[in-house]
Structure 1
Amino acid sequence: MKSRIPRRLRLGAAIALLCGATSSLALNTASIVASALSPDCLEYRVVGICYWLYCTWGGCSVRTSIKVRHYVPDAVVSSYTNTGENPWIEVRAVSMPNPTAQAGGDGTTNHDNENNLAKFKNADVIGHPATLAFSEFAASFGYSCEGAGSAYMPYLLSTLDTLAWRYNIPEAVYPEALTPGMREIGARTTRNLWGAVYPRGGFLHQTDDHKAGAVVAQRAGDVVTRRGQLHVYQPLLASSRDGYWPAGALMETDASTGKWQELTPRMSSSCTVFPRNGFLTQAQQGDYAWALWRPYSCCRRRGQVFLGSVDFL
């Protein structure tokens, strides 16, 4: 007898079981692909109606299509201490040490009385490998939107961005880096300040290694979701077109611009923003990775001319 459980629910249950089973294993492509089948991160919604002008030899008419909004796993963002040791095993070879970027490590042993010393993290932003599996998963909810990321494409490798990543040139003198309270992840008033987005490099002061990794991941995501930054990178952005509204610049603490799914050291089936509440698993080797999910809206083309769209309240 054929199961009556909807396919998307079965997929969600499967990924929840897989996440629990792989929490202690090395991060590999298979586990990353499976993690993308997350209804919580997808957050699929019908948000409006699109209007199209459809014309034939017999005349013209206005057709409509639904406008949907959901998140897409655009990239895997790794944040790790030892150069050349990206926790995603299959892509380590693309960010090995070179003459301008060698070694790694921290300037602290994580003792609370040493919080004046710096920590360092490399960062890689690489296209999420689940393009085909995710497309099928999202399509099970209805019409789906494509993201900006291409599978396995390196958008930022900190080993090639030495001047900015290791020396904070020129961002050390940016107003965002010199002004306390600007572009911070969390807040001092809530006693939950994880760190500042600027300068967007690998050094920061943070006694909690997980929080340090998250701040560096946010910095890398901030760079690649903007054009014209003084870094060595490729923009992780799509261009808008009729019936397609891609994600814009990533902003810290704002889920409407993007959210994070932890991949290691603990695989999660849900997404959040930094800072977050709850227990933070510390990586033994100082290596962390998150999937960066970004919001996209789109509607099916039903005519030659796009007339506009109306969003539901």
Structure 2
Amino acid sequence: MTRRRDTRTTRLRLAAAVMLLAGSASASTLSTATITMSALSPDCLDYRIVGICYWLHCSWYGCSVRTSVKIRHYIPDAVVSSYANTGANPWIDVRPMSLPNPTAQAGGDGTTSHSNENDIARFKNADVIGDPAGMLFSRFAGTFGFACSGAGSPLMPYLLSTFDTVAWRYNIPESVYPEALIPGMREIGSRAALDLWGNVYPRGGFLHETDDYKTGAVVAQRAGDIVTRRGQLHVYQPLLATAHDGYWPAGALKEGDASTGKWQELTPTISSHCAVFPNSDTHTQARDGAYAWALWRPYTCCKRMGQIFLGSTDFN
């Protein structure tokens, strides 16, 4: 009874912290502490029991089949920042990681010199850095039962566009990929629904879009797309874990598909909810062109209950 009360109290405290975050005022910069607290989101966590795992357990007295619960939940693997001015990552504590260098300087938007500016070319840098929540998030997820491990390491840089100059600023070689040349391939949103935010390819920093928020979101999606795949022609480190018995890690991120990952806005406003792009939420334009989201990805696991994994059954 005491343990149950302690768990309930912990959840209430965590929920209160999330509510305070959701109601906080918008800010142009983020701190590590703010990002850490934003990870305490039951909505983004989406903790579920999805099946049963079977294990063969053997001892001196013989062998038996044991079972364990199979769970699935999301983990904030990384913070993805998308910002106009080089060196001005909105996550202020990690700015020294992506300062201007001889091959990546300045930033900002292009212009057509026309009054309507419908063909404006916007540019965003992008950084993908391991979410700092770490042990605090593990403790939070553990209050629901037990927790899976994610692929991200706190404060680890997985992609810094200032070091990916050829691909990020010149779209080489992705500007000639079929996904970049053929309309309808790898797009965020729908042309038919008149809600097209932009194209995933070429996965660089430029986008022709009048809405700055949508530009930031598309560039963040591009960065997430790169780091969740191996063998891409970019300067980056894959944000992937290796599957093993009783552990099924997240795979490649796919636009519009929440089963591969979803986004929690961190700035210019902090949200306690997660969604995919495009979404119908009210979008606040950042005055400095800087945005950041936590990338939450789904992991499935079960506790090891024996020496040999026999398989699992999923609930419908």
TM-score scaled by length of structure 2 = 0.96
Q: Find the residue that maps to 2:12 and give its secondary structure.
A: helix
Say which is worse superposed, 115-124 or 247-256, in terms of deviation. Answer: 115-124
Q: CA deviation at 1:278?
A: 2.6
Is contact 2:7–2:143 with CA below 8 Å preserved after alignment? no
Q: Secondary structure at the match of 1:176?
A: helix
In the alignment, structure 1 residue 194 sits paired with structure 2 residue 197: yes
Q: CA RMSD in A?
A: 1.6
Correspondence for 2:65 among 44, 54, 62: 62
Q: Structure 1 87/109 Cα, relative in aligned 2: closer, same or farther at 3 Å?
A: farther
Q: 1:61 to 1:147 in 2, by over 3 A?
A: same
Match of 2:100 in 1: 97
- Distance in 2 between residues matched to 1:34 and 1:274, nearest whole Å: 23
Higher mean Cα deviation, 221-230 or 22-31? Answer: 22-31
Q: More deviation in 224-233 or 272-281?
A: 272-281
One-letter identity of the residue aligned with 2:17: A
Percentage of identical aligned residues: 72
Unmatched 5+ stretches in structure 2: none
Give the 3 Å change call, closer, same or farther, for CA 110–285 of structure 1 in structure 2.
Answer: farther
Alignment correspondent of 2:245: 242
Change (3 A) 1:280 1:99: same
Q: How many residues align?
A: 312
Displacement of 1:188: 1.0
Which range is displaced more, 107-116 or 287-296? 107-116
| Gaps in structure 1 of 5+ consecutive residues | none
Correspondences of 1:217-232 after superposition (within 5 Å): 217-232=220-235
Q: Distance in 1 between matches of 2:255 and 2:114?
A: 27
Tell me, yes or no, if the aligned pair for 1:183 and 1:197 is still in contact at 8 Å.
yes
CA deviation after TM superposition for structure 1 residue 20, in Å: 1.7
**Aligned CA distance change for structure 1 residues 218 and 111 (closer, same or farther; 3 Å):** farther
Give 1:16 deviation, angstroms.
1.4
Measure, in 2, the Cα distance between the counterparts of 1:233 and 1:104.
Answer: 20
Alignment of 1:75-114 (within 5 A): 75-108=78-111, 113-114=116-117
SS at match of 1:7: helix
Does the CA contact (< 8 Å) of 1:112 and 1:207 recur in 2?
no
Deviation at 1:43, TM superposition (A): 0.1
* Aligned residue runs from structure 1 range 1-313, under 5 A: 5-24=8-27, 26-108=29-111, 113-313=116-316
SS at 1:76 equivalent? strand
Q: What SS does the aligned partner of 2:23 have?
A: helix
Q: Aligned letter for 2:171? A: N
| Residue deviations 1:254-296 (CA, integer Å, cap 9, x gap) | 0000000000000000000000003110000000000000000
TM-score (ref. length: structure 1): 0.97
